[in-house]
Amino acid sequence: MAHFARFITSRIIALAAVTFTVAGVSGCAQAQTSAPRTDAALMSAYSASQSGNWDTVRALIPQVQGNVLAAYPEYWWLRQQTLDPRKPTPVFEIDAFLTTHRGTYLAERLRGDLVLAAARTGDYGAIRNYADTTVTTPQVDCGILLAQHARGEKVSLKRVNELFSPGDVCWSLYDRLQADGVMQTEDFIVQLRGQLENNSLPNARRMARYIYNPIQQKAFNTLVDAPMPWLVKQADPPRDRASREMIVDALSRLARTDPQVGYAYFERSWARQLPPADVAWLRNQFALSAAIKLDPVAIDWYRAGEGAELTEYNHAWRVRTALRQQPVDWRLVLRYLDEMPSGMKEDPASWVYWRGRALIATGAVPEGQAAFRSIAEQFNFYGQLAAEELGVPTTIPTTAPPITPQELAAAQYNPALQRALALFKLNWRTEATREWNYALRNMDDRELIAAAKLAHLENIYDRAVNTADRTVRQHDFNLRFVTPFRDQLVQTTRGVGVDESWVYGLIRQESRFIMNARSSVGASGFMQLMPATAKWVAGKIGMADFSPSRVNDLDVNLMLGTSYLRIVLDDLGGSPLLASAGYNAGPRRPVAWRSTLPGPVEGAIFAETIPFTETRDYVKKVLSNATYYAALFTGQPQSLKARLGTVAPQQAVDTTLIP
């Protein structure tokens, strides 16, 4: 089925005698175990589900009873019945499953599946029966709102738009709200502009149906792909709302494709023909496009467009653009922060931190320090920086008292964690992670640390990290910042000449220590090496016995990854900040970003203004991780600000590195 990440090969099936042993606990009466017979039935059921042989899946359900994963084949079969409208819903079997497995991840997930099935057939009464599921998706949430509206209950448009995600049920919700006059053209225009800003063109085309007639929709499809040729043919000022919006949509596309030429054309040809609100919004679209390209003209365009309604994404880039000016106009930064939506400027910590900086720079020292104190105890990039502003370097908090044997046993006997561990043993990682995370929902700090300890004992390091990360008052940073294979890593990093703390911080973000991790673009292993990069580095360092099949071997992956990191570090002037960005986005990109700086900037500003969302988040997490690892390894306070350093402008030159 689609929700399983990998097809179980015959090799895995051969290994899948999951005689269930959890951290040395086996054969106990309280724990479910799985015998080879039920294991074989489970694997046969899985294979049958993959081939669509649902009669076989159903026939095998009795044969998996007693297996820790016995609920899975029944869930697969029941879910399939909800997807086939030609078949009657097996109400008795569904009710029995929900009763037998009450409170489990699969039962809650089936409730969500039933909401979706009922929404697709218009059975809004059935949705009420299953709407209390604790496992939701945007489509499930849209189905619940659709049923509420159909029953005559008032639904909040703010809530609808916050939950909306492209998908058949959410689109059905919009269809119904438009048909019933709850959502008007102006509501859809806001959504359409958001999709255009995100460059989500299929969704924009779908959203345009709520605004434009069929002839206009055809024109919209043309202007989305080729805005300037379409615009120059529009000789007359727009005479109605839809015509005006098409002009605005085309100009917003022009902002993305050619901001410099487009802005001049817009101001010359259209700014006087459009309402002030549309003009201000468009100026901010041009500013956003320029900001992401790190074009210095962005700040002027933002100033020209003040007063417009902005998305959170554009609010963020307006602040980033102000931070990048030299010298920083802290009053402007503060004003832009104040104009953010209330929920946004309070969370995440980034905007609280920059508000604190702006307040202090403009003379409001007590208020700025209060802002820092509000986030200084958060164990993240901006929490660390806020603490440093208050004179408190990064240290490791007091470790919680050791987990007792009784606390560990409670984790070992937790049925949901047992299921998750069994799924991990089968390499069904997607489902295993969902089961594991569901089990953590109501755990207190002691239970979380015990679960993290269990994951660590089972060498499932990503769950150890993510589970330990959830604690609120009691902490164990040896589980938050695990150090598997340290002997090999120390030997490799010392030989290559890179900081062990930095490498651990990078691996924690890259792969969460999953040995066979593979990204959507093909990077693999602990250090997430692309095949071409691995081959290039192997040649560079003279690894004569390299072959692509060895990239995931621990020693090979560490040697190639750390060697590449060292090459990037040397090429980027010894800056861990730039090298971390280069490791993620390619080494030529930070070279280009650095070349656009108007003057030297502190590392935190450079990190915050990285154009790529993934790389921006990655760099902050890697360097935050590295600082905590350094504190763990040395036992001494550490400075994240020192690790970030300062980045000065430097002309971009060709690099010998691969992209």
| Predicted local confidence at residue 326, as pLDDT | 93
State the span(s) of the chain assigned CATH 1.25.20.10: 10-174
User: Between 185-197 and 276-292, two packed helices, what is the crossing angle to 10 degrees?
Assistant: 20
Both tokens of 446, joined, read 């002691």
Query: Mean pLDDT over residues 280-291, rounded?
Result: 99
pLDDT tens per residue, range 347-369: 789 999 999 999 999 999 999 99
Statement: residue 532 has pLDDT above 70: yes
pLDDT tens per residue, range 78-112: 999 999 888 888 999 999 999 999 999 999 999 99
Both tokens of 88, joined, read 């009657």
Q: Which of 357-366, 465-474, 511-520 has the lowest mean pLDDT?
A: 511-520
State the span(s) of the chain assigned CATH 1.10.530.10: 486-647
Cα(534)–Cα(538) distance, integer angstroms: 6
Strand partners for 638: 394
| Predicted local confidence at residue 3, as pLDDT | 36
Statement: residue 2 has pLDDT above 70: no
Statement: residue 19 has pLDDT above 60: no
Strand partners for 22: 25
Statement: residue 30 has pLDDT above 60: no
- Where are the alpha helices (H) located in 339-476, listed in sequence order? 342-346, 349-361, 365-375, 381-389, 405-412, 415-425, 429-439, 445-457, 461-468
Cα(120)–Cα(126) distance, integer angstroms: 11
- Side chain identity at residue 185, one-letter code: T
* Per-residue confidence band for 36, with pLDDT thresholds at 50, 70 and 90: confident
Statement: residue 520 has pLDDT above 80: no
Which residue has 């902050």 as its token pair? 620
Closest CA to 75 of 58, 50, 59: 58
Q: Which of 43-52, 539-548, 573-582 has the lowest mean pLDDT?
A: 539-548
| Predicted local confidence at residue 91, as pLDDT | 92
pLDDT tens per residue, range 431-465: 999 999 999 999 999 999 999 999 999 999 999 99
Q: Which CATH class is domain 10-174?
A: mainly alpha
pLDDT tens per residue, range 135-164: 999 999 999 999 999 999 999 999 999 999
Statement: residue 612 has pLDDT above 90: yes
Cα(240)–Cα(252) distance, integer angstroms: 19
Share of the chain above pLDDT 70, in %: 93
| Predicted local confidence at residue 347, as pLDDT | 77
Tell me which DSSP letter residue 201 carries. Answer: H
Mean pLDDT taken over the chain: 92
The 10 Å CB-count burial string (b at 16+, else e) for 159-179 is: ebeebbeebebbbbbbebbbe
| Predicted local confidence at residue 17, as pLDDT | 37
* Per-residue confidence band for 15, with pLDDT thresholds at 50, 70 and 90: very low
User: Between 168-179 and 105-121, two packed helices, what is the crossing angle to 10 degrees?
Assistant: 40
Instruction: Assess contact for 138 and 163: CB atoms under 8 A.
Output: yes
Cα(474)–Cα(403) distance, integer angstroms: 11
Q: Which of 226-235, 511-520, 622-631, 635-644 has the lowest mean pLDDT?
A: 511-520
| Predicted local confidence at residue 128, as pLDDT | 93
Residues 6 or more apart in contact with residue 347 via CB below 8 angstroms: none
**How many residues are listed for the chain in this entry?**
659
* Per-residue confidence band for 477, with pLDDT thresholds at 50, 70 and 90: very high
| Predicted local confidence at residue 656, as pLDDT | 54
Instruction: Assess contact for 42 and 19: CB atoms under 8 A.
Output: no
* Per-residue confidence band for 209, with pLDDT thresholds at 50, 70 and 90: very high
Cα(75)–Cα(109) distance, integer angstroms: 9
Task: Write out the E strands in 160-217.
Answer: none
| Predicted local confidence at residue 578, as pLDDT | 98
| Predicted local confidence at residue 239, as pLDDT | 86
Does domain 486-647 correspond to CATH entry 1.10.530.10?
Answer: yes
pLDDT tens per residue, range 167-192: 999 999 999 999 999 999 999 999 99
Share of the chain above pLDDT 90, in %: 86
